[in-house]
Amino acid sequence: MPFAIRDDVRLYWKLDGASNLPVLVLLNSIGTDMALWETSLPHLLPAFQLLRIDTRGHGASDAPDGDYSLAMLADDVVAVMDAAGVQTAAVAGVSLGGMIAMELGLAYPTRITALALVCTSATMDAGAWRDRIELVRAEGTAAIADMAMGRFLSPRFVATHGGAAESVRQGLIAMADAGYAGCGAAIRDMALIERLPAIGMPTLVVAGDRDISTPFAGHGERIVAAVPDARVVHLDAAHLAPIETPAVLAVTLRDFLKPADIHDAANTLFEAGLLNRRRVLGDAWVDASLAGRTDFTADFQAMITRIAWNEIWGRPGLDDRSRRFIVLAITIALGRWEEFALHVRTGLMRDGFTREELKEVLMQSAIYAGVPAANTAFAEAGKIIAELDSDS
């Protein structure tokens, strides 16, 4: 795992994409980590090399005690850029990430080429944040989970993407209390609004029309008014726009940043698809598959990675769990048992679904694909479950 060290604090980062493309730094909101951008990656990788960072106090980065500041968090980003060998970059940040981005634009104008400020603000209610920090330090992030989730995602999204919403919730509860409180202090104490007219690089404000945490009225509109020539785009999303509308947000960022001509688009689409493939099937299986390529099969491997894994598995309309169930049902109906076994094994190993859910898919398939097909499916799945149990 790559870490940058600043003031004895480890900062986790990942650099994905082709090195010949312009770099876009992606910053997370408070209470999330770099996984916030996961479903946006396939839509951004054809245009950018992406540098993701777990903000101090979040994800795999260290979470020292005490108050943090926006200046501290901005210095962290530059330390990561240095560690990654990135001299200049555009920055896209959500919520706290957008606040850090504004601080970067002010403090490091020669390192930052453009700002995309997503569902964020330059001024928040200091008293409300003081109370929230005290509550988290006393009782932990679980004490504010319901409130935060009500602000993070729209009810409509939660109703249709329960698994994704629960993952966000569990990530918030599991994070270090000191990290949330420390970053909360940076929000509480920020002094940005009066300094924004000094921002000199192209700036885009992305507002979520369902965002009740930092609505455009009173928040985004003040940034647009203060930053010279700032542009604004409205999305049909709540606070965590990269989760609710990953493809639309990615297109918005690409249109704004207008990266240089995309060199060797096939290779960048392959890399985008490879990320999805690794997420669904796991590194071990993908690495073994790639190692088994021959001159005869390499073009086919590249084609399915670009089309199946980037174009289809990267679409935002269904989550991975739903797509896994569809694959299982179709492979049962068609008798594609090698593919069926692959998705049963990886789904169970990577918590893509439970054994009970697998059983329900097989039961349903008995009605629509036939009892003999379901009988074979139960037998094949039973072998895999037995193997997994023997390995545990």
Tell me the C-alpha to C-alpha distance, in Å, between residue 311 and each of 181, 226, 234, 343.
Answer: 39, 39, 25, 19
Q: What are phi and psi of 134, to 5 degrees?
A: -60, -40
Neighbours of 336 (CB within 10 A): 14
Eight-state DSSP code of residue 366 = H
E strand segments, the chain:
3-6, 9-16, 23-27, 49-53, 89-94, 112-118, 203-208, 231-235
Sign of the dihedral defined by the CA atoms of residues 74, 80, 83, 87, in that order:
negative
Query: How does 309-335 read in b/e, with b if 16+ C-beta sit within 10 Å?
Result: bbeebbebeebbbebbbebbbebbeee
What lies within 8 Å, CB to CB, of 181 at 6+ separation is 67, 133, 136, 137
- Helices 126-139 & 177-189, crossing angle to 10 degrees? 170
Please give the pLDDT value at position 262: 40
Contact 323, 352 (CB under 8 A): no
Q: Which residue has the tokens 């968090």?
A: 73
Distance between CA 240 and CA 210 in Å, rounded? Answer: 10
Please give the pLDDT value at position 271: 75
Pairing mode, strands 89-94 and 112-118 = parallel
Burial of 267 (0-12, 13-18, 19+ CB in 10 A): middle
Q: For the chain, 392 residues long, give each residue's pLDDT as a single digit of tens.
A: 699 999 999 999 999 998 989 999 999 999 999 999 999 998 899 889 999 999 999 999 999 999 999 999 999 999 999 999 999 999 999 999 999 999 999 999 999 999 999 999 999 999 999 999 999 999 999 999 999 999 999 998 898 888 999 999 999 999 999 999 999 999 999 999 999 999 999 999 999 999 999 999 999 999 999 999 999 999 989 999 999 998 889 889 988 997 544 444 556 677 778 888 888 888 888 888 888 889 899 889 889 988 899 888 887 778 888 999 999 999 999 999 999 999 999 999 888 899 999 999 999 999 999 999 999 999 999 999 999 999 87
pTM of the model: 0.71
What domains are there in the chain, each with its CATH number?
3-257 (3.40.50.1820), 265-391 (1.20.1290.10)
Of residues 77, 167, 70, the one with CA closest to residue 123: 70
Please give the pLDDT value at position 169: 96
With vertex at residue 145, the alpha carbon angle to CA 220 and CA 92, rounded to the nearest 5 degrees, is 35
Distance between CA 317 and CA 225 in Å, rounded? Answer: 34
Q: What are phi and psi of 296, to 5 degrees?
A: -75, -35
- Return the HEC string of 118-180: ECCCCCCCHHHHHHHHHHHHHHCHHHHHHHHHHHHCCHHHHHHCHHHHHHHHHHHHHCCHHHH
Contact 183, 68 (CB under 8 A): yes
Query: In this structure, which amino acid lies at residue 347?
Result: G
Please give the pLDDT value at position 263: 42
Distance between CA 377 and CA 336 in Å, rounded? Answer: 10
228: three-class secondary structure by DSSP: coil
